[in-house]
Amino acid sequence: MLLAAVNSTAAEEPFRIHDILRAVSGALEVPVVVLLVLFLLAAIALVGWLIAEYCTERRHLKVALPALMEQLRTADDREAVIEQSGLLRRQKDALLELLRHPDFTDATREALAVELLEREQDRYDNIVKLSELLARLAPMLGLLGTLIPLGPGIIALGQGDTYMLSTSLLTAFDTTIAGLVAAAFAIVVSSIRRRWYREYGSLLEALCTEVLELTKKGAAV
């Protein structure tokens, strides 16, 4: 009797665990689908943001670095040269910040330049991290959205319910596609922005170095 009871309990335990797991996965299906829709909309928004950034900033960035450095070396009003250049507004503000503190020591001005460069780099990194996070999470949710409906689909296949089977498979395929499309958009946006921001950072660093050298020479004279 005791052995039979133990065997009965052992036989029932997997079914209980299975029911719990089935309930959990079933409860996750709707949130996963909703999140995938939101991620897909977010990916489309990222593409729109990238296009807007190109139209408002990127296409206006027209700077010949050697020529601009030469103008800074020979000009009496360096602030005017920077204002009239084809730099981005944030780059102009950073360079003007360096020039507007003639009373600073060289060490203080260098520390300010480092702080300005790090501030810009942090801003660019935070923007890129948004799309990179989306690129990582979207395929995971797509995989979850694929696997969750397969359980009911397999059960429906065993019961001969072709409608339930087709519905489950359709949900699985749709969530996979949504996750991959969102991730693809995010990856493309990330790669383009990284290239842009790397160029912005290199340009600003070179100009900050030039401005620091010019202020040192001016102070020495």
- Distance CA(144)–CA(141), nearest Å, equals 5
More confident site: 9 or 181: 181
What pLDDT digit, counting tens, does each position of 162-213 carry? Answer: 787 788 888 888 899 999 999 999 999 999 999 999 999 999 999 999 988 8
Q: What is the pLDDT of residue 1?
A: 45
Asked if 165 and 156 touch (Cβ cutoff 8 Å), the reply is: yes
Whole-angstrom distance, CA of residue 173 vs CA of residue 100 = 59
Interacting residues of 89 by C-beta distance below 8 A, sequence separation 6+ = 57
Binned at pLDDT 50, 70 and 90, residue 24 comes out as low
| pLDDT tens per residue, range 100-124 | 877 788 888 899 999 999 999 999 9
> Dihedral of CA 60/62/63/67: which sign?
negative
What's at 203, amino acid-wise? L
Retrieve residue 71's tokens: 């103008």
Please report, rounded to a whole number, the percentage of residues in the chain having pLDDT higher than 70. Answer: 86
Alpha carbons 85 and 75: distance in angstroms, whole number? 13
pLDDT exceeds cutoff 60 at 220: no
**pLDDT at residue 48, rounded to an integer:** 96
pTM over 0.85? The answer is no
Per-residue model confidence as pLDDT tens digits over 134-144? 999 999 998 88
What pLDDT is attached to residue 19? 67
Average pLDDT of the chain to the nearest whole number: 84
